[in-house]
Amino acid sequence: MERVDLSAHGFYATPNIGFDWTIGKGTPFNYFTYGAAFAEVEIDTLTGDFYTRTADIVMDLGFSINPAIDIGQVCPLQRKCFAAT
């Protein structure tokens, strides 16, 4: 039986960055956050039906300037993920 990778990986190359370590000047980054999404699902191997038991999205935004904006960024992402299934 062939095994299937059930994980997904993605990378983003931030444009317009550069930092000169010798003089200590430049733009080391624009803006970034860290996040992860986890879902626990039950799959019926006979019918292919599935049930999402839990889904969590965790974001590290550092010091939030406006929490309402942060929530507004994460909540549509969760809805989009559920709509895709």
Q: Which helix (H) or strand (E) holds 52?
A: strand 50-60
Residue pLDDT, tens place only, 31-50: 666 778 788 989 999 998 98
How buried is 74 (Cβ within 10 angstroms: 0-12 exposed, 13-18 middle, 19+ buried)?
middle
Question: For the whole model, what pTM was predicted?
Answer: 0.43
Residue (of 58, 19, 26, 22) closest to 39 by Cα position = 58
Please state the domain extents for the chain.
Answer: 32-83
The span from the CA of 52 to the CA of 47, in Å, is: 15
Phi/psi at 18 (5° precision): 180, 140
**pLDDT per residue of the chain (85 residues) written in tens, 0 to 9:** 788 888 887 877 777 788 888 898 888 776 666 778 788 989 999 998 988 898 887 877 677 778 887 777 777 767 776 665 5
Beta bridge partners of 39: 55
- 1 is written with which tokens? 């039986």
* pLDDT for residue 30: 66
